[in-house]
Amino acid sequence: MLENLTAQPADKILQLMQMFREDPRSDKIDLGVGVYKNAEGQTPVMRAVKAAERQLWEVETTKSYTGLAGDPGFHAAMADLVLGKTADAGQIAAAATPGGTGAIRQGLELIRMAAPDATIWLSAPTWPNHPSIIKYLGMNMVEYRYFDAETRAVDFNGMLTDLSNVKPGDVVLLHGCCHNPTGANMNAAQWQEIAALLLAKQAVPFVDIAYQGFGDGLEADAYGVRRLAKTLPEMLIAASCSKNFGVYRERTGLLMTVTQDVGKTALNQGTLAFLNRQNYSFPPDHGARLVTMVLTDDALRADWLSELEDVRLGMLKLRQQLSDALRKRTGSDRFGFLADHRGMFSRLGASEAQVQAMRESHGIYMVSDSRMNIAGLNEASIPILADAIVSAGV
């Protein structure tokens, strides 16, 4: 049997990580891996999370399973964080998952059960795991225009044109905020227009929200998903806690369905539990427990909000500093988009050859499509990156 296996495509980011580790240069810069790093290059445990862990150690009395869908307290805390007062509890079904990736996978499994012939519409570009999982599941997919390679902004007219071809029952996958890999985000008016279009087309939105709080703030970053929840009769949401709570290795995510027909909620909840049972039975709980404690304890929540805001403002500062450094070196504003983008990532607009030249000559490691992790920078490395970008002729 096993001799029939064939080699699968290597993950480009994991390959890049290995290349970075093997590079002996002391001034090398890792802008590839998608994790937040502070000025010292570390991914710290957030203060409130560490405090919650201490409390949990004192009070936890069992490591027995939670329910198939996870802890309802986690569901409620995350629904409040993502949706606010947009939807009532009776409209929401939820299941804890192993990270945001698990939520995406379970959401796609749910779609395949409910509408196996539906087409999944993906932004061009999108997070590489989106099309990879869809292809593995044998589902239909098509791209819609999203990123303008010239302006480095959202190609909204192209997006509207492409999505006008969506059929009833199709699913449109949208990034809730801090678009990965481009960093280019829709504004409030554009979200409203997309919501109206999807309603008219009888399409179902599936929102991947992995960076809430990293862009314009917790409430602003949730505008799009909340607008869709207000407008559409039903939707799916995959939420990740890896970034905004820094619990990457705890694999903490949540899949939610939101429906205006509360009579469907029980069926949705039962289906989510069934899917968990088929894939991994009971979801992990440690990270979910910590997130729930942070969100429901006033002191912990306040400290978390303060640190999250410091992280957000720090990334905005790095963006502005890099944009200013490139303006000084080029005498133009063509890199001003870096200050306008939000979240951890921006797509620089460099060719694969230019990315390779920056890696070989300057030790700058970014994904071959020129997606770079802004959080991988600090004040000392910004001039090095700016010189490399200019030297490569980007």
pLDDT digits (tens, 9 = 90+) for 44-93: 999 999 999 999 999 999 999 999 999 999 999 999 999 999 999 999 99
127, 208, 224 from 242: Cα distances, Å: 15, 13, 20
User: Looking at residue 41, what is its pLDDT?
Assistant: 86
Identify whether 99 is part of a domain: yes
Does residue 29 carry a pLDDT above 90?
A: yes
Residues 152 and 186 in one domain: yes
Mean pLDDT of the chain: 96
42, 224, 309, 346, 376 from 185: Cα distances, Å: 27, 10, 19, 11, 20
What's the domain range around 215? Answer: 65-296
Long-range contacts of 84-88 (CB under 8 A, 24+ apart): 84/219, 84/222, 84/226, 86/226, 86/229, 86/230, 87/229, 87/258, 88/262
Residues 103 and 183 in one domain: yes
Residues 255 and 375 in one domain: no
Q: Is this structure's pTM higher than 0.85?
A: yes
Identify whether 50 is part of a domain: no
Task: Please pick, among 30, 118, 127, 369, the residue that the annotation labels catalytic.
Answer: 127
* Domain end among 296, 326, 352: 296
Task: Please pick, among 210, 238, 325, 350, the residue that the annotation labels catalytic.
Answer: 210
Residues 215 and 171 in one domain: yes
Angle at 273 between CA 269 and CA 279, to 5 degrees: 145
Residues 230 and 342 in one domain: no
User: Looking at residue 336, what is its pLDDT?
Assistant: 96
Does residue 13 carry a pLDDT above 90?
A: no
Q: For this structure, is 80 an active site residue?
A: no
Compute CA 78 distance to the chain's CA centroid, rounded to the nearest angstrom: 15
Residues 227 and 338 in one domain: no
Residues 140 and 266 in one domain: yes
Q: For this structure, is 63 an active site residue?
A: no
Residues 86 and 213 in one domain: yes
Among residues 38, 68, 47, 7, which one has the least CA distance to residue 373?
A: 38
Identify whether 26 is part of a domain: yes
Does residue 122 carry a pLDDT above 90?
A: yes
Structural domain total, the chain: 2
Task: Please pick, among 162, 170, 208, 221, the residue that the annotation labels catalytic.
Answer: 208
Distance CA 317, CA 198 (A): 36
pLDDT digits (tens, 9 = 90+) for 375-385: 999 999 999 99
Average pLDDT, integer, range 5-33: 88
| CATH code, 25 | 3.90.1150.10
* Domain end among 233, 268, 296: 296
Task: Please pick, among 94, 103, 243, 303, the residue that the annotation labels catalytic.
Answer: 243
pLDDT digits (tens, 9 = 90+) for 290-337: 999 999 999 999 999 999 999 999 999 999 999 999 999 999 999 999
Q: Give 73's Cβ-side CA count (13 Å radius).
A: 14
Measured over the CA atoms of residue 216, residue 218, residue 221 and residue 226, the dihedral's sign is negative
Identify whether 41 is part of a domain: yes
Residues 290 and 168 in one domain: yes
Identify whether 6 is part of a domain: no
By residue count, the chain amounts to 394
Reported confidence tier of residue 8, pLDDT bands at 50, 70, 90? confident
HEC profile of the chain: CHHHCCCCCCCHHHHHHHHHHHCCCCCCEECCCCCCCCCCCCCCCCHHHHHHHHHHHHHCCCCCCCCCCCCHHHHHHHHHHHHCCCCCHHHEEEEEEEHHHHHHHHHHHHHHHHCCCCEEEEEECCCCHHHHHHHHCCCEEEEEECEECCCCEECHHHHHHHHCCCCCCCEEEEECCCCCCCCCCCCHHHHHHHHHHHHHHCCEEEEEECCCCCCCCHHHHCHHHHHHHHHCCEEEEEEECCCCCCCHHHCEEEEEEEECCHHHHHHHHHHHHHHHHHHCCCCCCHHHHHHHHHHHCHHHHHHHHHHHHHHHHHHHHHHHHHHHHHHHHHCCCCCCHHHHCCCCEEECCCCHHHHHHHHHHHCEECCCCCEEEHHHCCCCHHHHHHHHHHHCCC
Q: Give 66's Cβ-side CA count (13 Å radius).
A: 21
Q: For this structure, is 208 an active site residue?
A: yes
Residues 258 and 339 in one domain: no
Distance CA 125, CA 127 (A): 7
User: Looking at residue 363, what is its pLDDT?
Assistant: 94
Residue 44 · residue 38 · CB < 8 Å: yes
Among residues 4, 22, 83, which one has the least CA distance to residue 363?
A: 22
Identify whether 301 is part of a domain: no
Residue 307 · residue 47 · CB < 8 Å: yes
pLDDT digits (tens, 9 = 90+) for 178-221: 999 999 999 999 999 999 999 999 999 999 999 999 999 999 99
Residues 292 and 158 in one domain: yes
Residues 267 and 140 in one domain: yes
* Domain end among 296, 326, 343: 296
Q: Give 67's Cβ-side CA count (13 Å radius).
A: 15
User: Looking at residue 52, what is its pLDDT?
Assistant: 98
Measured over the CA atoms of residue 65, residue 70, residue 74 and residue 76, the dihedral's sign is negative
User: Looking at residue 12, what is its pLDDT?
Assistant: 80
Q: For this structure, is 243 an active site residue?
A: yes
Bridge-based pairing of strands 252-259 and 92-98 is: antiparallel
Identify whether 80 is part of a domain: yes
Among residues 288, 81, 257, which one has the least CA distance to residue 177?
A: 81
| CATH code, 280 | 3.40.640.10
Identify whether 118 is part of a domain: yes
